Amino acid sequence: MTQHVYLPPRVLSIAGTDPTGGAGIQADLKSIAAHRGYGMAVVSALVAQNTCGVRSVHVPPASFLAAQLESVSDDVDIDAVKIGMLADTDMVHTVAAWINDVAPPVIVLDPVIVSTSGDRLLSADAEDALKGLIPTVDLITPNVPELAVLAAAPLANSWVELLDQGREVANRYQVAVLVKGGHLPGNTVFDCVIDPVSAFDPVVFESPRIVTRNTHGTGCSLSAAMATLRPQRSGWVSALEEAKAWLTTSIRCAEGLRVGRGHGPVNHFAQLWGVA
């Protein structure tokens, strides 16, 4: 009798750090593990932050980012990549060159352009470089302000407006877009994946809004979950269905972690720990 051996997808996160473990690479690795993936990490920025905010950012030389990327791909067959914070133009170009050389089969980009408060996080040159990276990836996961920037449109105030912006971005960049309604008002949170083919007939998932301040790192965690699930599922829609259910549970069970005095992290392992 042959014993079945589970082969986890090997998922690389390229992102900044969070010393308190709720966002960035630390959150990505937890999310990857929660979805039965083997997580790897390349650091694009060292961030001194906690649940109350960011204090300082140190960006290593792009040559060191390239060395990290090459050290992984020279040795490991990568099944999926999640890209988070790329702080400057050199970083974006370095990652773009590496993607061109390695051609990972699944690439998810969380385009860190605008904070949820509306502050622009990149210089104009770096923002343009990041936009140039988008057509080379498979899925992007912008927040509401970032989707508005990419669509060159005002901030969406409704789910209908957000869908229109998602269609515009999917067609403009020829990429699948995870449209996330978490920052819109209302008691129900809608999410869907729009791609250039199914732009006008997306499958929309909904969940009740959970009133909590413990949402630190939700964007990082969701994009890492999508990258990990895609090699294991038939498409982006089935990956989103599972990732959204998991994230909803992780947010609902976050209070029990009691991490920090600000916006606490989600509970990535609520189901594993049996507290869901």
Q: What is the pLDDT of residue 121?
A: 78
Q: Could you read off the pLDDT of 82-95 as tens digits, one per residue? A: 999 999 999 999 99
Q: Please check the confidence at residue 212 and state whether its pLDDT lies above 90.
A: yes
30 noted as active-site residue = no
Query: Out of 217, 244, 249, 253, which one is annotated catalytic?
Result: 217
State the burial class of residue 5 (Cβ atoms within 10 Å of its Cβ: 0-12, 13-18, 19+): exposed
Q: What is the pLDDT of residue 125?
A: 94
Query: Out of 21, 22, 39, 219, which one is annotated catalytic?
Result: 219
94 noted as active-site residue = no
Q: Could you read off the pLDDT of 234-244 as tens digits, one per residue? A: 999 999 999 99
Count CB-CB contacts under 10 A for residue 274: 7
Query: Out of 180, 228, 249, 253, which one is annotated catalytic?
Result: 180
What value does the CA radius of gyration of the chain take, rounded to a whole number of Å?
Answer: 18
Q: In 3D, which of 66, 68, 79, 10 has the Cα closest to residue 38?
A: 10
Confidence of residue 200 (pLDDT cuts 50, 70, 90): confident
Q: What is the pLDDT of residue 15?
A: 97
- Output the average pLDDT for the chain: 94
192 noted as active-site residue = no
Q: Could you read off the pLDDT of 54-83 as tens digits, one per residue? A: 999 999 999 999 999 999 999 999 999 999
Q: What is the pLDDT of residue 1?
A: 57
Q: Please check the confidence at residue 7 and state whether its pLDDT lies above 60.
A: yes
180 noted as active-site residue = yes
Q: What is the pLDDT of residue 118?
A: 65
Residue reference for tokens 């038939």: 234
> Span 263-268, mean pLDDT?
96
Q: Could you read off the pLDDT of 97-156 as tens digits, one per residue? A: 999 999 999 999 999 997 765 667 788 899 999 999 999 999 999 999 999 999 999 999
Query: What is the number of alpha carbons within 13 Å of residue 34 lying toward its C-beta?
Result: 29
Contact 80, 48 (CB under 8 A): no
CA torsion, ordered 208, 214, 216, 217, to nearest 10 deg: -50
220 noted as active-site residue = yes
Q: What is the pLDDT of residue 181?
A: 92
89 noted as active-site residue = no
Q: Please check the confidence at residue 2 and state whether its pLDDT lies above 90.
A: no
Percent of the chain with pLDDT over 70: 97
> Span 168-197, mean pLDDT?
94
Query: Out of 94, 220, 244, 249, which one is annotated catalytic?
Result: 220
